[in-house]
Amino acid sequence: MPPQSIISRPVYGMLSPQPGREHLFVADAQGAEAILDMAAAAPDGFFAGAQIVYIPRDADPSLAERLKALSPAMFYEGPSVAAAMPRLRQTLATARMGLRVYLAGTEGLIGQAMQAALEAGIDHSSIQTEHRGSLARRVQCVHCKGITEDVTTQPVTCAHCGLLLFVRDHYSRRIAAFQGVCINAEDPSEIPPAEEAFR
Amino acid sequence: MGITFRQETFRDDFSFANSPEHIRRFPFPFHEDSYMYAVNIEPHVAGPKGSVLEHPIDVDEHYVSEMQDRALVLAEDPLRCQSLPHMTLAGWDLLELLMTAKAESYPEHFSLTRDGDRWHWVNRPLGIDDRFTFGDVATLPYGPMEYITRQSQGDFCLLDQRDGNLWMDAGIVTTQADWSLDFDIGMNFFEWHAPVPLAHEKGIFTRALKFLLNVQQGRPARRLNWTMTINPRLDTSPENYHKWGPDRTTVTPENVGHKVHLRVELQSFWRLPRSNGLVFPIRCYLISMDELVTSRKWARRLHRVIRDLPDEIAAYKGLTRYRATLIEWLSAHDDGAPTSPGFGPD
């Protein structure tokens, strides 16, 4: 679990089987393990009404096989979160009332899938989340508005404008990103060393 | 009769200054010789004649130049003005509030004529004379919130009230003290205040929210907040921090008087009649140290406040780099004499 932080920072829980006929799982990397752990507690036939969207990233390939072995109604394996987003938005836009949403894996994955679900009108409190794996952050540069993915260091160089950013704990669900603010704006000659902070 | 509007700038050559009358009416935010966060909310009732509280919506000598600065900021960065789709009705509420308040308080400068939904608005200082249909967005050159707040000093946050919370769902923010509307839009009251140090632990925001949820129509409330700004710059946005941040390294004992400014926000809180939303106008007043120390009392008090400020608060307000220089300069204006109670300059 991430350490106690400020109020805008999302709080994650543990996936648990919810009542209902239709379930949408979105996971990346070690998020698969959260689904598998939950499956052990799920009633028989639970996955017959489930769709699983999975982005393995650099996780053990056997995880994808074990997810498939749950025999979900639909299983999609994608190469990246960005590649999976169009079909995820489509799925959410055409979802029927009562769809249960489960998000598991990195904060970046949970945040972006949450953002798509919110845009589709699903209330954030009705979405289950479980953080697994890397603490790498999605960071929006407050200056140029570009988003840098998979940030593990503090500070980090903005992938778009090149400013050296301090990664705040301040988080926007709408943007699905933490806020990055120039760390040496007052004196650009001060260049603090980047240290691994979000692993 | 009427206000003489100054032609001045808040960037580049920084020609902003206060007239002697405006120095005297400056909303000095310290009622005693120290400062700590508090829920310092009070009813927004009329204050003394000539003060910034005389009218519900204050218009002052900086009006025209501040509106020109806002237009420059919006041209550079349109994301400073945003409204989520469900906030249009609240925008009309705000337009009505500002037009009626201005026309009533400053009839020589503003007039509003209403014939049912057909409204005629005249803003003489800005040379605007528009007829439009209230409630019909197509009859205005901008959305209602943007239209009227391009003609109103201060930032404006339009809040939706639901689920026992307030949501920052629209706003125009070009004179902010270091927070980003673009990042915070859509957040609830606790989320957008998340970065403020110490105040959460003290329960400040829980009590403030409880108060704000109960603000009644026709009974607005207000509070003062403050920070400091180097040069009279209105746009101290995080977006442009890498452009204005270096100003903080330029403070020397010789230039404190004209470079360092006390920046006071008069925040007021109004219930909106149709949308049941709230609007927070956040009005910014600037005063240079040279101007401020023309009041002996303010000079003594500000010295003591800055000197004794907890380090976390000084850091959050961005004072750390020049605080020692400022305290040294202010100390020359503090003879140790007692100060009178209250905010006034004596």
A42: CATH: 3.40.50.80
pLDDT of amino acid A3: 43
Residue A13 belongs to a domain: no
Give the DSSP per-residue string, A43-92.
PTTGGGGEEEEEE-TTS-THHHHHHHTT--SEEEE-S-HHHHHHHHHHHH
Range of B252's domain? 20-331
Beta carbons of A7 and B191 less than 8 Å apart:
yes
* Minimum Cα–Cα distance from A6: chain B residue: B194
Q: CA A136, A140, A142, A145 torsion: positive or negative?
A: positive
Residue A58 lies in domain? 23-131
- Out of A107, A131, A155, a domain closes at A131
Please give the structure tokens belonging to residue A20: 């209902």
Q: Residues A63, A120: one domain?
A: yes
Joined tokens for residue B230: 């180097």
* ipTM confidence: 0.88
Residues 155-194 of B with CB under 8 A from A: 180, 182-187, 190-194
Which is the catalytic residue, given B25, B80, B223, B283?
B223
Is B14 domain-assigned? Answer: no
- Which of B168, B264, B272, B271 minimizes the C-alpha distance to B211? B271
The Cα angle at residue B291 between residues B289 and B295, in degrees rounded to 5: 100
**What phi and psi values does residue B263 have, to the nearest 5 degrees?**
-120, 115
In this prediction, residues A165-182 reach a mean pLDDT of 94
What is the mean pLDDT of the segment spanning A15-27?
Answer: 94
Per-residue pLDDT, B1: 62
Residue B175: inside a domain, yes or no? yes
Residue A149 counted as domain residue: yes
From the list A36, A41, A26, the residue with the least C-alpha distance to A95 is: A26
B341 belongs to a structural domain: no
Q: Residues B5, B227, B202, B161: what is their CA dihedral angle, to the nearest 10 degrees?
A: 40
Query: Could you tell me if residue A61 is inside a domain?
Result: yes
**CB B239 to CB A143 under 8 A?**
yes
Do A142 and A126 have their domain in common?
no
Residues A103 and A149 in one domain: no
Taking contacts as CB-CB distances below 8 angstroms, the residues of chain A near B248 are 186
Is B54 part of the contact surface with chain A (CB cutoff 8 Å)?
no
Q: Are strands A23-28 and A50-55 parallel, antiparallel or unpaired?
A: parallel
In terms of domains, do A100 and A169 share one?
no
Q: For chain B, how are helix, strand and coil distributed in percent, rounded to 5?
A: 35, 20, 45
Q: Based on the fold, state whether residues A124 and A157 are members of the same structural domain.
A: no
Integer Cα distance of B185 and B169 in angstroms: 5
pLDDT (tens, 9 = 90+) of chain B, 346 residues, equals 689 999 999 999 999 999 999 999 999 999 999 998 777 889 999 999 999 999 999 999 999 999 999 999 999 999 999 999 999 999 999 999 999 999 999 999 999 999 999 999 999 999 999 999 999 999 999 999 999 999 999 999 999 999 999 999 999 999 986 789 999 999 999 999 888 777 677 788 899 899 999 999 999 999 999 999 999 999 999 999 999 999 999 999 999 999 999 999 999 999 999 999 999 999 999 999 999 999 999 999 999 999 999 998 999 899 999 999 999 999 999 999 999 998 888 8
A98 shares its domain with A48: yes
Does residue B346 form part of some domain?
no
Categorise residue B192: left if φ over 0, alpha if ψ from -120 to 50, beta otherwise. Answer: alpha
Same domain, yes or no: A75 and A157:
no
Under an 8 A CB cutoff, do A7 and B248 touch?
Answer: no
Cβ of B238 within 8 Å of Cβ of A181? The answer is yes
Mutate to test the interface with A, among B166, B183, B230 (most CBs of A within 10 A): B183
Are A143 and A87 contained in the same domain? Answer: no
DSSP B239: T
CA pair distance A181, A163, nearest whole angstrom: 9
Contact A169 B194 (CB under 8 A): yes
Q: Do B187 and A140 touch (CB under 8 A)?
A: no
CA dist B256 and A178 (Å) reads 36
**Closest-approach residue (CA) in chain B for A165:** B242
pLDDT at A98: 86
Residue A4's pLDDT band, with cuts at 50, 70 and 90, is low
Q: Do A173 and B248 touch (CB under 8 A)?
A: no
| A116/A51 same-domain check | yes
Give pLDDT, residue B102.
98
Q: Are residues A126 and A166 in the same domain?
A: no
The total of structural domains in chain A comes to 2
Is the domain of A127 the same as that of A141?
A: no
- What is the structure's pLDDT at A74? 95
Q: For residue A109, is pLDDT > 60?
A: yes
Strand partners, A74: A51
Same domain, A188 and A141: yes
Verify whether residue B223 is a known catalytic residue: yes
- Using CA coordinates, name the residue in chain B closest to A145: B239
From chain A, the residues in CB contact with B246 under 8 A are: 185-188
Total domains in the fold of chain B: 1
- The distance of B174 to chain A (nearest Cα, Å) reads 14
DSSP for residue B199: T
Predicted confidence (pLDDT) per residue in A76-90, tens digit = 999 999 999 999 999
- A contact test, residue of B242, B247, B321 with most A CBs within 10 A: B242
A9 is a domain residue: no
Q: Note whether residue A101 is domain-resident.
A: yes
Q: Is there a contact between A6 and B195 if contact means CB atoms under 8 Å apart?
A: yes
Minimal Cα–Cα distance from B44 to chain A, Å? Answer: 30
pLDDT at A1 over 60: no
Residue A89: Cβ-neighbour burial (10 angstroms; 0-12, 13-18, 19+): middle
> Which residue of chain B comes nearest to A125, CA vs CA?
B163
